[in-house]
Structure 1
Amino acid sequence: MDPFRSLLLLSSLFSVAAPHSILQISPGSRRHGDRSAWKGDELYCESWRFSVETNDAGVWKQVPEICVGFVREYMTGERYASDCAMVSNNSMSFAGGVEIAGDGKDAWIFDIDETLLSNLPYYAAHGFGSEVFDENAYNEWANLADAPAIPASLILYNGLKGLGFKLILLTGRTEVQRNATAKNLLLAGYSNWERLILRGIDDVGKPALVYKSHKRAELEGEGYRIHGNSGDQWSDLLGMPVATRSFKLPNPMYYIE
């Protein structure tokens, strides 16, 4: 069929179906920024979380005041655990199809905070993202080495290890936190990583995207094939070079550039 005629047919079919469409959006609900158009704060906050996870929200510093309770319920309830499990399952499904060469160069990169380790106890004490991020307070918490594992990530980590991947941990933490970070990982159940990469003196102050891209390039320069990359922030995953597949975990509390 001629493409133009096909387009006309599609348009005519849509015009007939439109009155009965499931997308029954009233004109008032299309007003940008008008919270009264939404069916309650929960719907607004769910959409806000979606915009964060898709990176449409861009750089932001605090959870909106009306969404703090929503974030608390999400992070401490079943939905966050279920979302993490879905990411883990998708990751393992992909990993199972990767042909491992057996030369020790098939790699999977993990971020640490909110990817392998959960800082939920810290955020619970600091308003579930409602407070502006305090780096000093956060570092004090990290040095305690008390962060628990994210259960779905621990399962994924061990599953990838069993498949023969070399697991490389690439974190925005600095070298002064190496001992505390390694201790925390071991206490949480993680072991036998190939490498733990932290920010050196020359990396301090670099945007996360720049820093992590540079480290991935160095790894590829050493011959590693980066099949997978797991992180909770887009800056963990974007930039060149990228992994064959990147997997984003949910994190509606902080976007830290």
Structure 2
Amino acid sequence: MATARLLLLLTVVAAAAGSCFCSGQEAKPPTPPPPPPYCGSVRTAVEAHNIIGWKTFPADCAKYVADYITGDRYGRDSDVVINEAVAYAESLKLSGSGKEVWVFDVDETALSTVPYQAKHGYGVQPYDHANFLQYVAGGSAPALQGTLRLYQRLLQLGIKPVFLTDRTEDQIAITTHNLLSQGYSSWEKLLLQPIGLQTSTQAFKTSERKKLVDAGYIIIGNIGDQWSDILGSPEGCRTFKYPNPMYYVA
């Protein structure tokens, strides 16, 4: 009887010790559900301009778009665009007039606002204009390295870069500083939107490109992350759409 009681006591003690050890471990957080399967299709439709006028990327695709921007895919997709643009530029026979230009958008084309977007859901939160202006005013937007590579190759080839942005003219000093600090230099023009201009981005950029052509420039290339950057005659001899599923500008 004594032996049986001793065995029972040892069993209880061992069980108690085991339960204490387990209870001392941190509980693992639940695994978040995977993004809905349609998120990739939404991004494709956005890039193809089949979905237009949207305000935010679908909220239940927050993880998908964050993973896309911060992972390897965004860089690979961007490199495909840039490699094609470089190959096209290198294939051209220039006139020698010095009037061939390539038009560049700024935000999400030459400079990245991903540090700002990371704090605002990568496009699943509504646009906050005041906060975005604060980011721009900091002048710390990093260069998109693929675009910088294209830019530098164009200079080597004798093609003059022109920046055309819907940033407003009161931001010219900080924009100039930011571009120079990130390795962009020797551009032909930096064109910003007049303060208070009541028109769409596409209409403004179309008008500015027409002014370039009227001044004798030949727009041989045009690159931007928004369709409003590259639509509207004169678009240029060839256009390139840089990937951006985070926001839409008309």
Give the TM-score taking structure 2 as reference length.
0.85
Q: 1:126-170 deviations in whole A, cap 9, x for unaligned?
A: 111111111111111101001001111110110111111010000
- Tell me how many residue pairs correspond in the alignment: 217
Whole-Å separation in 2 of the counterparts to 1:99 and 1:135: 43
1:169 aligns with 2:163: yes
Task: Report deviation, 1:102.
Answer: 2.1
Given the alignment, which residue of 106, 121, 126 partners 2:120?
Answer: 126
Question: Residue 234 of structure 2: SS of its match in structure 1?
Answer: coil
Whole-Å separation in 2 of the counterparts to 1:181 and 1:42: 38
Whole-Å separation in 1 of the counterparts to 2:242 and 2:67: 17
Task: Report deviation, 1:198.
Answer: 0.1
Structure of higher CA gyration radius: 2
Q: Kindly, what percent of the aligned residue pairs are identical?
A: 42
Q: 1:158-204 deviations in whole A, cap 9, x for unaligned?
A: 011111101000000000000010111011111111100001146x2
Aligned AA (1:81): G
> Residues 62 and 130 of structure 1 are in contact (CA less than 8 Å); yes or no, is this contact kept in structure 2?
yes
Task: Report deviation, 1:43.
Answer: 2.9
Name stretches of at least 5 consecutive residues in structure 1 with no aligned partner. Answer: 1-39
Given the alignment, which residue of 151, 156, 159 partners 2:145?
Answer: 151
Whole-Å separation in 1 of the counterparts to 2:187 and 2:36: 40
Whole-Å separation in 2 of the counterparts to 1:205 and 1:42: 39
Question: Residue 37 of structure 2: SS of its match in structure 1?
Answer: helix
> Residues 61 and 256 of structure 1 are in contact (CA less than 8 Å); yes or no, is this contact kept in structure 2?
no
Question: Residue 167 of structure 1: SS of its match in structure 2?
Answer: strand
Q: 1:42-84 deviations in whole A, cap 9, x for unaligned?
A: 5311000000000000110111011111111110111101111
1:252 aligns with 2:226: no
1:64 aligns with 2:54: no
Given the alignment, which residue of 200, 206, 216 partners 2:209?
Answer: 216
Question: Residue 126 of structure 1: SS of its match in structure 2?
Answer: helix
Q: 1:86-135 deviations in whole A, cap 9, x for unaligned?
A: 11100011111211122220010000000000000000011111111111
Aligned Cα root-mean-square deviation (Å): 1.1
1:81 aligns with 2:52: no
Whole-Å separation in 1 of the counterparts to 2:92 and 2:211: 22
1:232 aligns with 2:237: no
Whole-Å separation in 1 of the counterparts to 2:141 and 2:77: 19
Tell me the equivalent position of 2:96.
Answer: 102
Question: Residue 91 of structure 2: SS of its match in structure 1?
Answer: coil
Tell me the equivalent position of 2:200.
Answer: 207
Question: Residue 109 of structure 1: SS of its match in structure 2?
Answer: strand
Question: Residue 43 of structure 1: SS of its match in structure 2?
Answer: coil
Whole-Å separation in 2 of the counterparts to 1:72 and 1:205: 33
1:181 aligns with 2:175: yes
Runs of 4+ in 1 over 6 A off after TM superposition: none
Give the TM-score taking structure 1 as reference length.
0.82
Aligned AA (2:206): S
> Residues 117 and 150 of structure 1 are in contact (CA less than 8 Å); yes or no, is this contact kept in structure 2?
yes
